[in-house]
């Protein structure tokens, strides 16, 4: 009788208990906010804007603009990027595609000589290598559509750091040494970023007065102030005078695109990531889908490393064949991220043997390029999130600063395939999907990502060229295992990208016995001299309502939680 009574009461209160449990386990907001970025001044700028009542989107605008000033070797208003936004009140995710576009006068073979050979440096150094920037348009779009504060407030920290200067560090010096030649080819760039034509010693003050004026115009007039009028004329005149092919129409017609992110599911973890023209989200979901075909967790360390290598190999092969700007070419995104496709690819994986890449269908792959990029993550107390990966491509981009603007231009044109469809020395062809076309966006590897389980949410991404996607994969698996933001960003890394057919490993990450076991399975390995990546992640624990933010110890960035 007593038991029956208890059951009746339980049946009555069960819906209430269930609703309560759900509201706790799916909680998306807390009383804290967090910012993690590659430079302390950029993290501080984001936190300041949150303190002033801004939301995550306002903070993202401030961080984007500040990084453009204090991390000029990684991103800038002369560059582009992808901002993955989660708008909590609408339960909506959107990707702001502020990727650079090829100028309207660009052509498929513009970087080839009369013998059909790639002209060394032509897509890397100087004004001809620059795509039409997307960052100014993206900043305005995010502020107007998602933020609460005006650009005059959110751009203030960036303008201040450009006007009064910031101090360089050892990393700046290394990057400037790497690009000394390109920077010296542009008198404006050499004046701003070098000292006596040399990479400055750490602690040198870099003042960017012209950039402060340009940012002030952007703050007062919005994107129109950059893409039209006097500033646009200055940019075009300077680019054309220095061998570039920009026109006023290129700038006036630039538009950001709101895209639906790609999404997938890995053993109860939802993955939301960058859509084309990034290859990042598609390849990430493909790799996770393939892994889900195996009992990954039951494998030995060498078995897991082998399997990860095999799924990386297959996803990067597909990347080279199919991925490009979906506004210009048909990319079979749904097929690539389908379980059916993953099953087909997984069927060719042998757990006891490496598949040599030349046994898979052949396609050309661009060499791993020395790109520099940046990633930051923001979460606010309303539960809004931003994962943003931004780039000007090579360290200091093209090395070219347009006269009297302070705008350092990207060399993102190098992310196109300069020589598509032409068999290379190995007889490989491919990259048609990423051939240069006027107005087209070049393929990217940038992978800003959200991960969601019932218990936790992660906001993450990293720079690192073609290695970005595998770094995000390893961090996603760490998150899935229950790892913290700190362990996600500081995990040892390895990478395989189909070609070259070799596993690249950070120093001190694999034991000798692991390398031997991989060799016995048929893998070539290379332990690199230095680490790679600079990941910034935030993890939200939905049950404890706690935010945890981390900056990669490989870089000089910071993470801050505001209570
Ligand atoms: N420029 C680096 C990337 O977009 O992947």
Q: Which residues of 292-329 are buried (b: 16+ CB within 10 A; e: fewer)?
A: bbbebeeeeebbbbbbbbbbbbbbbbbbbbbbbbbebb
Contact 322, 433 (CB under 8 A): yes
Q: Is 86 helix (H, G, I), strand (E, B) or coil?
A: strand
Q: Name the active-site residue from 373, 405, 449, 558.
A: 373
pLDDT the model gives residue 416: 92
What integer pLDDT is reported at residue 207 of this predicted model? Answer: 98
Beta bridge partners of 41: none
- What DSSP element (H or E) covers 85? strand 80-87
Task: Report if residue 204 sits inside a domain.
Answer: no
* Percentage, residues of the chain above pLDDT 90: 89
pLDDT at 11: 46
Residue 552 Cα to ligand 1 midpoint, Å, equals 19
Helix 280-291 × helix 468-480 angle, to 10°: 50
Question: Ligand 1 in contact with 357 (CB < 6 A)?
Answer: no
| Strand ordering across the sheet containing 503-505 | 494-495, 503-505, 525-527
Residue 103 lies in a domain: yes
| pLDDT of 414 higher than 70 | yes
Domain membership of residue 150 (yes or no) is: no
Q: Please determine, for residue 15, whether its predicted confidence score (pLDDT) is greater than 50.
A: no
pLDDT tens, residue by residue, 211-222: 999 999 999 999
Give the per-residue pLDDT at 422. 64
| From 234-243, 260-269, 357-366, 550-559, the region with the lowest mean pLDDT | 357-366
Q: To the nearest 10°, report the CA torsion of 524, 530, 534, 539.
A: 70
Q: For residue 447, report the distance from its CA to the centre of ligand 1, in Å.
A: 9
Query: Is residue 129 within 6 Å of ligand 1 at its C-beta?
Result: no
Task: Choose which residue among 445, 447, 470, 495 to substitute to test ligand 1 binding: the one with the highest number of ligand atoms within 8 A of its C-beta.
Answer: 445
How far is ligand 1, taken at its centre, from the CA of residue 144, in Å?
A: 26
pLDDT band at 4; cut points 50, 70, 90: very low
Interval 448-499: pLDDT, tens:
999 999 999 999 999 999 999 999 999 999 999 999 999 999 999 999 999 9
Q: How far apart are the CA of 465 and the centre of ligand 1, in A?
A: 6
For atom 4 of ligand 1, which residue has the closest CA? 444
Phi, psi of 435 (to 5 degrees): -75, 155
3-state class (DSSP) for residue 424: coil
Boundaries of domain holding 501? 70-124+256-563
**Distance (Å) from CA 438 to ligand 1 centroid:** 19
Spell out the residues 6+ positions from residue 517 whose beta carbon is closer than 8 angstroms to its own: 302
Is residue 154 among the annotated active site residues?
no
Q: 81 C-alpha to center of ligand 1: Å?
A: 8
What is the value of pTM for the model shown? Answer: 0.94
User: Is residue 414 a part of any domain in this protein?
Assistant: yes
Pocket test for ligand 1, best of 74, 442, 444 (most atoms within 8 A of CB): 444
Total domains in the chain come to 1
CB 414 less than 6 A from any atom of ligand 1 = no
548 pLDDT above the threshold of 70: yes
pLDDT at 360: 94
pLDDT category at 425 given cuts 50, 70, 90 is low
Average pLDDT, the chain: 93
CATH number assigned to the domain comprising residue 461: 3.60.20.40
Q: Could you write out the three-class secondary structure of 443-472?
A: CECCCCEEEECCCEEEEECCCCHHHHHHHH
Task: Return the ligand 1 atom nearest residue 280 CA.
Answer: 5
Residue whose entry in the numeric block shows the structure tokens 């300041």: 48
Per residue in 92-123, pLDDT tens?
999 999 999 999 999 999 999 999 899 999 99
Confirm if 438 and 426 have CB atoms less than 8 A apart.
no
d(CA 525, CA 518): 8
Q: Report the distance separating Cα 177 and Cα 308, nearest Å.
A: 35
For residue 391 and ligand 1, the question of a CB distance below 6 A is answered with yes
407 has pLDDT over 60? yes
Residue 3 confidence class, pLDDT cut points 50, 70, 90: very low
The Cβ of residue 368 has, within 10 Å, a number of other Cβ atoms equal to 16
10 has a pLDDT exceeding 60: no
Q: Which of 279, 284, 393 is the pocket-test mutation for ligand 1 (most atoms within 8 Å of CB)?
A: 393
pLDDT in tens, 155-204: 999 999 999 999 999 999 999 999 999 999 999 999 999 999 999 999 99
What is the pLDDT at residue 1?
A: 39
Mark out the alpha helices in 323-443 (DSSP H runs).
333-336, 339-347
Band of residue 146 on the pLDDT scale cut at 50, 70, 90 = very high
98: CB partners within 8 A, 6+ apart: 80, 81, 82, 83, 134, 135, 137, 138, 141, 256
Q: Is the CB of 444 under 6 A from ligand 1?
A: yes
Report if residue 453 sits inside a domain.
yes
State residue 31's pLDDT score: 83
Tell me, using a 6 A CB cutoff, whether residue 445 lines ligand 1.
yes
Task: Give which of 494, 498, 453, 502 is closest to 473, Cα–Cα.
Answer: 494
pLDDT for the residue numbered 401:
98
Say if ligand 1 is within 6 A of residue 66 CB: no
Is residue 152 a part of any domain in this protein? no
Q: How confident is the model at residue 24 (pLDDT cuts 50, 70, 90)?
A: very low
């Amino acid at each position: 009788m007593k038991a029956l009574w208890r059951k009746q009461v339980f049946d009555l209160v069960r819906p209430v208990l269930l609703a309560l449990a759900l509201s706790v386990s799916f909680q998306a907001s807390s009383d804290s906010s967090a910012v993690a970025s590659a430079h302390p001044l950029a993290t501080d700028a984001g936190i300041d804007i949150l303190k002033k009542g801004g939301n995550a989107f306002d903070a993202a605008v401030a961080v984007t603009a500040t990084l453009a000033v204090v991390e000029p070797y990684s991103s800038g208003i002369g560059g582009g990027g992808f901002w993955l936004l989660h708008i909590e009140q609408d339960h909506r995710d959107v990707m702001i595609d502020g990727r650079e576009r090829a100028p309207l006068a660009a052509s498929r073979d513009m970087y080839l000589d009369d013998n059909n050979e790639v002209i060394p440096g032509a897509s890397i150094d100087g004004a001809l290598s620059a795509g039409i920037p997307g960052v100014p348009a993206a900043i305005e779009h995010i502020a107007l559509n998602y933020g609460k504060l005006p650009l005059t407030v959110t751009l203030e920290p960036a303008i201040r750091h450009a006007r009064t200067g910031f101090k360089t560090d050892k990393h700046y010096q290394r990057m400037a040494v790497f690009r000394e030649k390109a920077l010296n080819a542009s008198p404006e760039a050499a004046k701003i970023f070098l000292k006596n034509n040399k990479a400055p010693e750490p602690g040198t003050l870099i003042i960017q007065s012209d950039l402060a004026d340009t940012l002030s115009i952007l703050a007062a007039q919005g994107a129109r102030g950059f893409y039209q009028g006097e500033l646009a004329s200055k940019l075009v005149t300077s680019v054309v005078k220095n061998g570039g092919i920009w026109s006023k129409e290129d700038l006036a017609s630039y538009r950001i695109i709101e895209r639906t992110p790609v999404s997938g599911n890995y053993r109860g973890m939802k993955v939301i990531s960058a859509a084309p023209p990034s290859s990042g989200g598609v390849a990430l979901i493909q790799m996770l889908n393939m892994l889900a075909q195996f009992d990954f967790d039951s494998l030995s360390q060498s078995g897991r490393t082998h399997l990860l290598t095999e799924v990386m190999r297959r996803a990067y092969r597909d990347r080279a064949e199919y991925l490009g700007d979906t506004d210009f070419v048909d990319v079979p995104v749904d097929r690539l991220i389908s379980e059916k496709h993953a099953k087909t690819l997984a069927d060719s994986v042998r757990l006891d043997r490496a598949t040599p890449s030349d046994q898979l269908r052949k396609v050309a792959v661009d060499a791993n390029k020395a790109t520099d990029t940046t990633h930051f993550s923001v979460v606010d107390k309303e539960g809004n999130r931003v994962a943003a990966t931004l780039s000007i491509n090579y360290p200091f981009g093209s090395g070219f600063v347009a006269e009297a603007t302070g705008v350092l231009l990207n060399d993102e044109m190098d992310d196109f395939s300069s020589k598509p469809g032409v068999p290379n020395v190995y007889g490989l062809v491919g990259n048609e999907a990423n051939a240069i076309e006027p107005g087209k966006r070049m393929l990217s590897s940038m992978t800003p990502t959200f991960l969601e389980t019932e218990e936790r949410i992660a906001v993450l991404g990293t720079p690192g060229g073609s290695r970005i996607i595998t770094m995000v994969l390893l961090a996603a698996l760490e998150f899935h295992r229950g790892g913290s933001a700190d362990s996600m960003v500081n995990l040892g890394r390895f990478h395989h990208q189909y070609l070259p057919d070799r596993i690249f490993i950070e120093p001190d990450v694999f034991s000798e016995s692991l390398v031997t076991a991989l060799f016995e399975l048929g893998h070539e390995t290379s332990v690199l001299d230095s680490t790679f990546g600079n990941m910034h992640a935030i993890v939200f624990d939905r049950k404890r309502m706690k935010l945890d933010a981390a900056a990669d110890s490989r870089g000089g960035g910071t993470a801050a939680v505001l209570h």
